[in-house]
Amino acid sequence: MNMTFGGEPVTLEGQEVKVGDMAPDFRAVNTDLSIYNSTDDRGKVVIYSVVPSLDTPVCQVQTRTFNEKIGELGEDVKVVTISVDLPFAQKRYCAAEGIDNVIAVSDYNGHEFGKKYGFLVKENQLLARGIVIVDKEGKVTYVEYVPESTDEVDFDKAFEEAKKLK
C-alpha cells in the first residue's frame, strides 16, 4: 500500500489486516498505566480509531467525532483510540477535551498493535491514520488505511459498517 505522511512516502511495518481476518490479539497501555488487552473486548463490537498523535488537529477531529457519535451505536460498541502518545499525554488530552466516551490506549511500548495490524510507520515510529472494526466474535469487518496521514478517515462509512453489527 502506498502511504504518505505530510506528503512524504512512508513504509508501513507489520502485517496489513483485511476484512474477514481474525483480529490479532494485542496489548497496549491504558492512561492509568494498566495493560489494555484486546481479548477483554470479545463480545463487543470494537472500533479501533488509529491516529498518529492525539495532539494534532486531524487526530483531534477524529477522536472528538467518535467521542460525540458513539452514543448512536449502542452499548455493545466500544471505541478505542490508539496512538503512540505516552499514556500521561493521552490522559491529559482526554481530560482537557472532555473525551469520556472512548478510551485511549498507547502503543508506545513495543508497538504491538502497529506491527500486528500493519499501521506502524517505519520512518517515524508513529501509527498511520485509519480505522479497524472488529465484530463480537473477533473478526475484522472493516478496515481503512488512510493513504495520506494528514487526511481524515471516512466517518460515514465507519459508522455505517458499525451499525450493521449492533
Please list, residue by residue across 10-34, b when 16 or more beta carbons sit within 10 angstroms of its beta carbon and e when fewer do: bebebeebeeebebbebebbbbeee
Q: State the Cα–Cα distance between residues 34 and 4, nearest whole angstrom.
A: 33
Report helix, strand or coil for 39: helix
- Please indicate whether residue 59 is annotated as part of the active site: yes
Single out the catalytic residue among 28, 51, 54, 59. Answer: 59
Active-site residues, by number, are: 59
